[in-house]
Structure 1
């Protein structure tokens, strides 16, 4: 793997300085906040798709009448960017140092569900651009730099596990297909102004490896790199990812990507995530992050853990020396992030491994 210079050395220097000084705060859930707006099909279509096709690209058959777009939250970057910008700003004002782009499903694999694969690059450019504008505006107001995490989600398919219980050998995607769709998304995120890239909510490590491969391809093509963040998902009480790895095994599988940070998010609440974050804090030659859900979902699919409850648990993580970055996933809001930011304020970040300190 080539050693390439930073694409944005000044901003990377600011980020590394901040990581040395304190625990940085990542934002909370995007989907939870979007749900509060009770958006309807017309909101997702906007003017651009109101006529049953993509009028901006004159693409008949793209999102035709009768093919619902409701639920495609990434599409709101084009049809309701005001909502996405307001959510980013609310998290920044609550104390977030880093906000994640609204691009969790902005890959061709996932957008194929809506027949909008042709929008992948545009969605990622706009996702990073909108987040960049919000970060820069709040940074000017507060005098504190804020950073854009370019999000690469897991996609709606898995390269390691068959979706057909009757055919264990069947796969509905491939490494090369995933690599190609991730590459398109990565180029868009970089062009839109992302400060870092995060491969997150990883339930299948092979998917993540395809993303990491595409990231290195993109960096080599540009002659420079951005910091890479990696966040896996422990799916249940077994303490393993969906593809069967413990936290330690997961880290060993992705360490070749030379991540700035490695962590865990989603699926579990903070209490259940603690032993697995502790494992990463012990073995990882990288910064450690955690952005858990607001507890486990209730019978109605909602999340009941209050900001105060969640902040108390994560404060213990911080005082135990486990964290460098912390935030929230499903069910969290700006109130959760404000409480978490207050709870970890003044707590020293996890001590950096000597090898990483020298490299940084």
Structure 2
């Protein structure tokens, strides 16, 4: 794992090009859900996706582990395979990355609402995130990418779980739904003000749900409230049919 200073220096040198979606790539290959299980069942398909992105110019690729935490995997009766799924994901990504491409350990939400409104106790979410991050780091990712979190409360739990394992470099991304309230309510500003003070965060931004134009608006709203580099991973937008 690279240090926070090393990752920060590389990110600040110039824009860093990341890869694209893994799920849509695997869907096109008719890989069944959950896509994280493909690390064990269809490793060549996952490797093919990584290699395609590297060949297209990606300088950072994400492990195929977005939903590979114990809580979310339990929905598919795969919770006992959590460590194996994450370990295989890093191995595959490393094979594709070689020595020049960064590998980010991707971590998304636990997939269920947290108590008291939901069924997952915050402590259980914390332990699930910590277990996943520990495996990703032990297997050799360069940094952790926390992405597609809707709620800052759950994002903070995941962040604390990762940082409990050491001085880990982290990119933090929140998802902002495509509606008029996102910018009007000041959500991007509040997010940036909060996350910019978290030790170990080397970049912050947004991903998923919105296309490039709306993403640019969101990042412009964040920029005055943080000195950190900004991260943007837009989509073409939500499917219309």
| Fold equivalence (TM over 0.5) | yes
Name the counterpart of 2:15: 23
2-structure distance, mates of 1:240, 1:172: 27
TM-score, normalization: structure 2?
Answer: 0.92
Is the Cα–Cα contact under 8 Å of residues 159 and 204 in structure 1 kept in the other structure?
Answer: no
Question: Does residue 8 in structure 1 map to residue 2 in structure 2?
Answer: yes
Question: Does residue 94 in structure 1 map to residue 53 in structure 2?
Answer: no
Q: Greater CA deviation, 290-299 or 232-241?
A: 232-241
1-structure distance, mates of 2:237, 2:195: 27
Structure 1 residue ranges (4+ consecutive) displaced by more than 3 angstroms after TM superposition: 15-18, 238-241
Question: Does residue 175 in structure 1 map to residue 136 in structure 2?
Answer: no
Is there any run of 5+ residues in structure 1 with no aligned partner, and where? 1-6, 40-69, 140-144, 161-168, 220-224, 300-360
Partner residue of 2:206 out of 261, 264, 268: 264
TM-score, normalization: structure 1?
Answer: 0.63
Count how many residue pairs are aligned between Structure 1 and Structure 2. Answer: 239
Name the counterpart of 1:246: 187
SS in 1 for 2:119: coil
SS in 2 for 1:125: helix
2-structure distance, mates of 1:82, 1:282: 43
Name the counterpart of 1:108: 70
Name the counterpart of 1:82: 44
1-structure distance, mates of 2:74, 2:175: 24
2-structure distance, mates of 1:97, 1:22: 11
Deviation at 1:12, TM superposition (A): 6.1
Residues 168-211 of structure 1, C-alpha deviations (whole Å, 9 max, x = no match): x5321121111000000001100111101011001011111110
Is the Cα–Cα contact under 8 Å of residues 40 and 85 in structure 2 kept in the other structure?
Answer: yes
Q: CA RMSD of the aligned region, Å?
A: 2.0
Is there any run of 5+ residues in structure 2 with no aligned partner, and where? none
Partner residue of 1:280 out of 212, 222, 239: 222
Name the counterpart of 1:186: 133
Deviation at 1:269, TM superposition (A): 0.8
Question: Does residue 155 in structure 1 map to residue 110 in structure 2?
Answer: yes
